[in-house]
């Protein structure tokens, strides 16, 4: 059967026209969506939608265009229906055109089914997003109303607060003046009661509280002492504070006072502006008594090695309160090791305690009671006094030790002498660590070296005498 070209052309155009295919409800929905994106449904709007889809699915326009630039490619971006139709009309026969029409109708129906599936799958998401947007609009509208009400209320509160401030301005100034007057009266009352308070604290031995009361009011009393009402208070307080100083010094001089009590006395006396150098001298003077006793014990042992024990016992007959057995044990000489051990446990331990206590009481506490301007000078004075004191006492100790070591010059037992010198040098390191600037270890090393030299000379003389006796024979 021969069919004219006009008939075949009309059939192919009908196959290419999507309207020729029966539209399903989903196709109608998609058509409505397309119409919302572009009112006229022109190729320009369709191309814009396609470009947006390609951008969303990360498809590069240039890559796609480069691969499908053929205008007869129905899936390409540059597809031209007229050119495609002309090409098909020229290249295909009628039966091929009919098959092509059937194939295209099938593809259109498949595409329509896929679009319907996509709409159904995402329909709930579209509805949920629409509801969420609608709810957000409602919530923001309600929030804006609440913020407007809050701003109105804040303006009302500010106006009301301003009215209250204006109303109470006069009363506020009056209350402030009355408060200042009340505070001044309380201070004056405290000043008038200060002498009685100080006496009560001294009676109760609350010396720290008394010093705090006085230090708190000392500046005011000195500033207004020219006024008759304050001069009598200042005079009474000075007399009471002098009594307080006396009691603190008595406690400071008491041998039975603990380290904590001594620290408290020094702290309070410094707050009362006692001269720090004078307190240092008093502390070192009291500490000298115990050190003198230790040195006297060492000297008595030296005398025992230099004089017979009977002569020493006769010279100690004046001690009637000591029994003969105790007097005998006291006058019994000890060996060099026991002498060094006793001197280390006595004198060196006591002087270490004096140094550490002195530093805690004066050097480390100066910053609490003095300004930064005078801190350096006061610390230097305290350290110099301590250094002079320790050098004098250590010189006396070294002198006693040298005398006792000289008594061992002609002995034969070297092991005991070496143990004694080793113990002496190790215990001397504790004193040197407390005051390294005095370099006390150097003097101790000189004593050890001299003792070693004397021992070598002693054995050298012995060898000379021995060989001299042999040469006579």
Distance (Å, whole) CA 102 – CA 115: 20
Q: Which residues fall within 8 angstroms of residue 73, CB to CB, at 6 or more apart? A: 79
Question: Which tokens sit at 384?
Answer: 């110099």
233 lies in some domain: no
297 lies in some domain: yes
* Secondary structure tally for the chain: helices H, strands E: 18, 0
> Do residues 293 and 148 share a domain?
no
Distance (Å, whole) CA 23 – CA 331: 137
Angle of the 81-91 helix axis to the 94-203 helix axis, nearest 10: 150
Distance (Å, whole) CA 34 – CA 119: 13
> Of 60, 77, 55, which Cα lies nearest the Cα of 68?
77
Cβ–Cβ under 8 Å, residues 354 and 280: no
Q: pLDDT value at position 53?
A: 61
Distance (Å, whole) CA 366 – CA 274: 12
133 lies in some domain: yes
Show the domain range for 305.
288-472
Q: Which of 115, 131, 152 is the last residue of a domain?
A: 152
Q: Is the dihedral of CA 464, 469, 472, 473 positive or negative?
A: negative
460 lies in some domain: yes
Cβ–Cβ under 8 Å, residues 244 and 272: yes
Q: Which of 152, 181, 199 is the last residue of a domain?
A: 152
Helix intervals (H) in 68-93: 81-91
Q: How many residues does the chain have?
A: 473
Distance (Å, whole) CA 249 – CA 265: 8
Angle of the 81-91 helix axis to the 5-16 helix axis, nearest 10: 140
> Of 239, 200, 193, which Cα lies nearest the Cα of 216?
193
Q: pLDDT value at position 56?
A: 55
Q: pLDDT value at position 124?
A: 84
Q: pLDDT value at position 407?
A: 82
Angle of the 94-203 helix axis to the 207-223 helix axis, nearest 10: 90
Please return the burial class of 116, using the count of CB atoms within 10 Å of its CB with bins 0-12, 13-18 and 19+: middle
CA triple 381-385-390, angle to 5 deg: 150
Q: Whole-prediction pTM value?
A: 0.53
CA 412 to chain centre: 62
Cβ–Cβ under 8 Å, residues 46 and 38: yes
Distance (Å, whole) CA 283 – CA 275: 13
175 lies in some domain: no
228 lies in some domain: no
pLDDT, averaged per 10 consecutive residues of the chain (473 residues), comes to 42 43 42 43 63 59 54 81 87 87 89 86 84 86 87 92 80 80 83 89 90 88 83 89 90 78 83 85 87 91 71 47 50 84 92 89 63 65 90 94 84 83 93 92 91 87 82 64
Q: Which of 133, 152, 171 is the last residue of a domain?
A: 152
Number of domains in the chain: 2
Question: Which tokens sit at 142?
Answer: 């309600």
224 lies in some domain: no
Cβ–Cβ under 8 Å, residues 261 and 251: yes
436 lies in some domain: yes
């Amino acid at each position: 059967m021969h069919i004219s070209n006009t008939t075949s052309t009309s059939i192919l155009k009908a196959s290419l026209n999507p309207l020729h295919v029966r539209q399903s409800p989903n196709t109608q929905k998609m058509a409505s969506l397309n119409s919302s994106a572009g009112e006229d449904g022109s190729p320009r709007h369709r191309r814009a939608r396609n470009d947006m889809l390609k951008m969303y699915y990360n498809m590069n326009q240039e890559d796609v265009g480069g691969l499908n630039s053929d205008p007869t490619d129905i899936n390409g971006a540059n597809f031209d229906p007229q050119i495609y139709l002309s090409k098909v009309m020229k290249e295909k026969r009628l039966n091929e055109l009919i098959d092509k029409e059937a194939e295209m109708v099938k593809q259109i129906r498949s595409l329509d089914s896929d679009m319907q599936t996509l709409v159904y799958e995402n329909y709930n998401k579209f509805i949920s997003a629409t509801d969420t947007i609608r709810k957000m609009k409602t919530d923001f509208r309600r929030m804006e109303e609440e913020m407007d009400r809050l701003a109105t209320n804040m303006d009302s509160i500010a106006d009301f607060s301003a009215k209250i401030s204006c109303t109470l301005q006069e009363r506020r100034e009056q209350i402030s003046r009355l408060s200042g007057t009340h505070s001044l009266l309380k201070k004056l009352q405290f000043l008038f009661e200060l002498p009685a308070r100080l006496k009560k604290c001294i009676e109760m031995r609350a010396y720290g509280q008394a010093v705090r009361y006085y230090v708190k009011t000392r500046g005011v009393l000195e500033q207004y002492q020219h006024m008759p009402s304050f001069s009598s208070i200042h005079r009474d307080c000075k007399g009471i504070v002098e009594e307080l100083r006396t009691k603190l010094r008595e406690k400071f001089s008491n041998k039975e006072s603990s380290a904590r009590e001594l620290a408290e006395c020094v702290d309070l006396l410094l707050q009362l502006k006692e001269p720090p150098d004078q307190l240092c001298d008093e502390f070192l003077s009291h500490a000298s008594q115990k050190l003198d006793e230790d040195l006297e014990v060492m000297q008595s042992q030296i005398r025992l090695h230099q004089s017979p024990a009977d002569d020493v016992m006769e010279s100690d007959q004046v001690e009637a309160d000591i029994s003969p057995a105790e007097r005998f044990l006291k006058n019994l000489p000890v060996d060099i090791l026991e002498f060094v051990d006793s001197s280390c446990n006595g004198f060196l331990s006591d002087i270490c305690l004096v140094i550490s206590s002195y530093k805690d009481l004066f050097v480390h506490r100066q910053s609490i009671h003095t300004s930064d301007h005078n801190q350096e000078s006061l610390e230097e004075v305290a350290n110099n006094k301590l250094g002079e004191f320790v050098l004098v006492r250590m010189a006396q100790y070294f002198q006693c030790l040298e005398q006792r070591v000289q008594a061992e010059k002609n002995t034969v037992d070297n092991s005991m002498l070496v143990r004694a010198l080793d113990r002496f040098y190790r215990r001397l390191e504790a004193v040197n660590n407390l005051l390294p600037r005095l370099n006390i270890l150097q003097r101790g090393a000189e004593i050890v070296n001299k003792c070693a030299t004397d021992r070598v000379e002693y054995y050298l003389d012995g060898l000379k005498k021995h060989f001299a006796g042999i040469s006579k024979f």
